[in-house]
């Protein structure tokens, strides 16, 4: 019976994928959507529109999470990326908390909602602060050399 002289050769290592550019693109979409949300909140929007924006924001944030999870070495990410992702996530969470309060107000319209109104505005203010921090982190990330 003939024998084979074939030797298994491992594939060369795949170069580490750089996350900077795809992350900047994806985070730019998230920032734009959140700036749109902040603007529409300031000029007035209805509950349905707010829900639609929440869905769109959630989709953009999910794509950022996938980019980070798909990175070979999450621990070696630049701090600007982790800070930007955290700020965007916190802004989204604050917007979502307001959305839930608005939902409660609509479900129980007969109740005094002044405390919910104040809390909603506090969450919107927090979201705006996180959005400003995300903008600053994005600017720092853009200035990093690839």
Q: Which residues of 77-90 are buried (b: 16+ CB within 10 A; e: fewer)?
A: beebbebbbebbbb
41 found inside a domain = yes
Q: Do residues 125 and 98 make contact, with C-beta atoms less than 8 angstroms apart?
A: no
CATH code: domain of residue 55: 1.20.120
Tens of pLDDT, residue by residue over 14-50, are 334 577 888 899 999 999 999 999 999 999 999 999 9
CA angle 46, 50, 53 (to 5 degrees): 140
7 found inside a domain = no
pLDDT of residue 13 exceeding 70, the answer is no
134 found inside a domain = yes
6 found inside a domain = no
85 found inside a domain = yes
Q: Which residue range is the domain that position 52 belongs to?
A: 20-143
Q: How many domains does the chain have?
A: 1
Q: Which residues of 104-129 are buried (b: 16+ CB within 10 A; e: fewer)?
A: eeeeeeeeebeebeeebeebbebbbe
Summary mean pLDDT of the chain: 85
1 found inside a domain = no
Q: What are phi and psi of 2, to 5 degrees?
A: -70, 145
pLDDT value at residue 71: 77
4 found inside a domain = no
| pLDDT more than 90, % of the chain | 56
46 found inside a domain = yes
- What DSSP line would sit under 29-57, residue for residue? HHHHHHHHHHHHHHH---HHHHHHHHHHH
């Amino acid at each position: 019976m003939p024998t084979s002289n074939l030797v298994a050769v491992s594939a060369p290592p795949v170069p580490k994928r750089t996350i900077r550019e795809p992350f900047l693109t994806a985070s730019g979409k998230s920032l734009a959507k959140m700036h749109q949300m902040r603007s529409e909140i300031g000029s007035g929007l209805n509950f349905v529109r707010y829900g639609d924006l929440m869905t769109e924001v959630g989709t953009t944030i999910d794509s950022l999470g996938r980019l980070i999870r798909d990175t070979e070495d999450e621990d070696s990410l630049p701090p600007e990326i982790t800070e930007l992702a955290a700020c965007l996530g916190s802004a989204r969470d604050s917007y979502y908390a307001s959305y839930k309060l608005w939902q409660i107000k609509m479900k129980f319209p007969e109740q005094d909602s002044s405390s919910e109104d104040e809390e909603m505005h506090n969450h919107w203010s927090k979201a705006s602060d996180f959005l400003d921090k995300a903008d600053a982190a994005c600017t720092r990330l853009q200035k990093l050399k690839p």
